[in-house]
């Protein structure tokens, strides 16, 4: 039975919309027509799948009554010890995929299979990433009659990710088949569109079921902050308002990741209703973070919310417009939040681990926080700090911690020896991390290439300039050190053509970001 379902699935997957597909099918390719009654044997005929009336079996319902009742969206709830889940966003009607989901695909003769091709190519010929895809595909096939949300979301996620893997698209079909030849660029684009089309159809079905992780995924696509390794701009246009709607709904349904992202949206004013005050936004953010903490021991949103609450208590949170204290400073509670956020290694917050390391290091913290730590009997401990930085860099693969180790090896800090080779290695690891690389590490590499080191690295002005330019781009113009550095490069023509106008432009950017030397230079020139 599963073999029949599998073979029918191969023909079905390229049949959206069916009318257009029939018009474009090439009868000489060996692709057999799929009869409509055969749809019952598909892993799930997406268009025909009956939406469940209830999703109570899909996720764990909140135990607190306050977590299942909506709060009027226009009323800000008072900050409580256990805050209620904020109001549910208006849930969109999913009668059909949004227009931005629409893809027109055609069956490629090179991506279809005749009866002669029914025997799969040996799995030994598959690449490692193709084997991963094959396993998820087979699990989806076996879930044909159930449409288990967890399994289908995993299928949706891998389709989205692999739609942006050129090597896979050139050699494999959506049916986990290895193709006889490499596809042309045009054929590869059709293959990509097929994967995206089906992923979004599955996602739409999960949204109709109000499956919380799928709702959260939709929010990440609209905010263009996906947890998947994808080119989000190629899927849906950025829309922070819609993103917040999905995050709020995911939070309403007990999703810790949704709570965290909703909190971030309110904290930074992304997609929030017009007219809401900064104070109210901050209060909402705290509510969402506090709500997300106890919801899940398996979602990183829970530990990320702990990290946020720890940061608020480490520094205090004040509304600058009104002077209202949103969260009072309490370094002891901050440390407790950071420790709690790093207890479970599977979902540990690397940011919290990094902050704990900074706390035990002391030296990089503002003087008033150092004093508060001393007053609270939290001692300086360089050994513990280094241990936490190493754990954060290696186990969590956190680029900022990797940059920190490179910095320590460059300047011999935290009892580490001076080692140019190790410093360069850690900087390069951080600078090339996905998705954008660490801008601080890029600037550090720029410095190493500017000077070089005998026996380790030859100096290169061109490389020094290139890494500084990458740093400015990676930081989206928000790293003062990178802007000032580029000003110097352009002013003196180091690794680039001398351009005083560009130099002045970068000095101005650095000054606006508070760079002391840039401000001094501009002040002198204006006198």
Q: Is residue 364 very low, low, confident or very high in pLDDT (cuts 50, 70, 90)?
A: very high
The length of the chain is 527
In this prediction, residues 153-165 reach a mean pLDDT of: 96
Q: Is residue 317 very low, low, confident or very high in pLDDT (cuts 50, 70, 90)?
A: very high
Tell me how crowded residue 419 is: count the other CB atoms within 10 A of its CB: 16
Q: Is the dihedral of CA 346, 350, 355, 356 positive or negative?
A: positive
- Cα gap 426→458, rounded to integer Å: 18
Question: How much helix, strand and coil, in percent to the nearest 5, is found in the chain?
Answer: 55, 0, 40
List residues bridging with 453 in a β-sheet.
457
User: Domain limits at 131?
Assistant: 1-42+103-111+121-209
Q: Is 60 exposed, middle or buried (0-12, 13-18, 19+ CB in 10 A)?
A: exposed
319 located within any domain:
no
Best CA proximity match to 79, nearest among 352, 339, 312, 355: 312
Q: Which residue has the higher pLDDT, 66 or 427?
A: 427
Does 49 score more than 70 pLDDT?
A: no
Task: Report residue 353 CA to chain centroid gap.
Answer: 19
In this prediction, residues 61-83 reach a mean pLDDT of: 29
- Cα gap 216→14, rounded to integer Å: 27
Say what the pLDDT of residue 229 is: 83
DSSP conformation class of 41: G
Tokens 């977590």 belong to residue: 67
11-25 pLDDT per residue, tens: 323 222 223 333 333
Cβ contacts of residue 513 below 8 Å, gap of 6+? 478, 479, 480, 483
Tell me if the bond preceding 510 is cis, omega within 30° of 0: no
Number of H helices, E strands in the chain: 22, 2
Say what the pLDDT of residue 233 is: 72
In this prediction, residues 170-182 reach a mean pLDDT of: 92
401 located within any domain:
no
- Cα gap 337→244, rounded to integer Å: 26
495 located within any domain:
no
Say what the pLDDT of residue 111 is: 40
274 located within any domain:
no
In this prediction, residues 300-327 reach a mean pLDDT of: 94
- Cα gap 73→284, rounded to integer Å: 11
In this prediction, residues 447-454 reach a mean pLDDT of: 97
Q: Is residue 525 very low, low, confident or very high in pLDDT (cuts 50, 70, 90)?
A: confident
Which whole-number Å values give the CA distances from 143 to 42, 149, 273, in the listed order? 10, 10, 41
For 40, what's the count of Cα atoms within 13 Å in the CB-facing half-sphere?
2
Say what the pLDDT of residue 345 is: 86
Q: Is residue 145 very low, low, confident or very high in pLDDT (cuts 50, 70, 90)?
A: confident
The per-residue b/e assignment along 357-366, b for 16 or more CB within 10 angstroms, e otherwise, is bbbbbbeebe
Does 113 score more than 80 pLDDT?
A: no
Cβ contacts of residue 235 below 8 Å, gap of 6+? 100, 160, 196, 200, 221
Does 304 score more than 90 pLDDT?
A: yes
- Cα gap 219→407, rounded to integer Å: 36
415 located within any domain:
no
Query: pLDDT over 70 for what percent of the chain?
Result: 76
In this prediction, residues 50-58 reach a mean pLDDT of: 33
445 and 424 Cβ atoms separated by less than 8 Å: yes
Does 315 score more than 90 pLDDT?
A: yes
Tell me how crowded residue 525 is: count the other CB atoms within 10 A of its CB: 9
Q: In the chain, how many domains are there?
A: 1
pTM: 0.74
- Cα gap 134→408, rounded to integer Å: 44
Say what the pLDDT of residue 121 is: 63
Say what the pLDDT of residue 120 is: 58
402 located within any domain:
no
5 located within any domain:
yes
Give the containing element (helix H, strand E) for 194. Answer: helix 185-208
Range with lowest mean pLDDT among 147-151, 260-264, 435-439, 506-510: 435-439
Rg (alpha carbons) of the chain, rounded to whole number: 27
Does 482 score more than 70 pLDDT?
A: yes
Say what the pLDDT of residue 77 is: 31
Catalogue the E-assigned strands of 293-442.
317-318, 325-327
Three-state secondary-structure class, residue 325 = strand
Q: Is the dihedral of CA 476, 481, 484, 489 positive or negative?
A: negative
Residue by residue, DSSP assigns 247-301 as HHHHHHTT-HHHHHHHHHHHHTTSSPPTT--HHHHHHHHHHHHHHHTTT-SS-HH
Average pLDDT, the chain: 80
294 and 81 Cβ atoms separated by less than 8 Å: no
Range with lowest mean pLDDT among 92-101, 369-378, 417-426, 473-482: 92-101
205-241 pLDDT per residue, tens: 999 999 999 999 999 999 998 889 887 677 889 999 9
507 located within any domain:
no
């Amino acid at each position: 039975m599963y073999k029949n379902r599998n073979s029918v699935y191969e023909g079905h997957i390229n049949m959206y919309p069916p009318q257009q597909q029939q018009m474009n099918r090439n009868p000489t390719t060996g692709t057999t027509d799929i009869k409509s009654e055969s749809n019952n044997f598909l892993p799930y005929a997406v268009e025909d799948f009956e939406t469940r009336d209830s999703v109570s079996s899909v996720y764990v319902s909140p135990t607190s009554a306050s977590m299942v009742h909506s709060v009027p969206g226009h009323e800000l709830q008072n900050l409580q010890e256990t805050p209620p889940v904020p109001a549910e966003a208006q849930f969109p009607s999913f009668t059909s995929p949004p227009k931005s989901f629409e893809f027109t695909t055609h069956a490629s003769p090179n991506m279809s299979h005749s009866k002669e091709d029914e025997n799969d190519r040996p799995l030994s010929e598959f690449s490692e990433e193709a084997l991963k895809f094959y396993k998820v595909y087979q699990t989806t096939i076996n879930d044909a009659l159930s449409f288990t949300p967890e399994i289908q979301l995993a299928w949706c996620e891998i389709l989205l990710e692999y739609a942006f893997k050129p090597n896979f698209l050139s050699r494999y079909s959506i049916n986990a088949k290895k193709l006889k030849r490499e596809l042309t660029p045009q054929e590869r684009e059709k293959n990509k569109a097929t994967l995206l089309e089906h992923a979004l159809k599955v996602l739409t079905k999960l949204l109709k079921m109000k499956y919380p992780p799928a709702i959260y995924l939709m929010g990440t696509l609209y905010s263009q902050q996906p947890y998947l390794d994808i080119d989000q701009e190629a899927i849906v246009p950025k829309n922070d308002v819609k993103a917040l709607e999905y995050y709020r709904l995911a939070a309403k349904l007990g999703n810790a990741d949704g709570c965290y992202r909703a909190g971030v949206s309110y904290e930074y004013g992304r997609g929030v209703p017009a007219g809401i005050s900064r104070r109210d936004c901050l209060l909402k953010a705290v509510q969402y973070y506090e709500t997300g903490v106890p919801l899940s021991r398996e979602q990183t949103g829970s530990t990320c919310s702990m990290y946020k609450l720890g940061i608020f208590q480490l520094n205090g949170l004040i509304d600058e417009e009104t002077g209202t204290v949103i969260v009072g400073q309490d370094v002891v509670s901050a440390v407790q939040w950071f420790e709690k956020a790093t207890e479970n290694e599977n979902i540990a917050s690397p940011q919290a681990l990094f902050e704990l390391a900074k706390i035990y290091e002391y030296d990089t913290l503002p003087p008033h926080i150092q004093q508060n730590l001393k007053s609270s009997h939290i001692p300086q401990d360089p050994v513990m700090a280094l241990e936490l930085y190493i754990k954060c860099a290696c186990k969590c693969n956190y680029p900022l911690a990797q940059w920190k180790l490179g910095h320590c090896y460059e300047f011999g800090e935290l009892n580490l020896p001076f080692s140019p080779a190790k410093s360069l290695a850690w900087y390069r690891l951080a600078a090339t991390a996905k998705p954008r690389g660490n801008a601080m590490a890029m600037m550090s590499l720029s410095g190493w290439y500017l000077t070089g080191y005998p026996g380790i690295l030859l100096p290169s002005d061109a490389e020094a300039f290139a890494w500084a330019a990458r740093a400015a781009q990676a930081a989206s113009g928000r790293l003062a050190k990178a802007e000032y550095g580029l000003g110097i490069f352009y002013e003196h023509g180091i690794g680039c053509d001398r351009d005083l106008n560009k130099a002045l432009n970068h000095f101005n950017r650095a000054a606006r970001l508070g760079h002391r030397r840039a401000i001094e230079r501009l002040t002198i020139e204006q006198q």
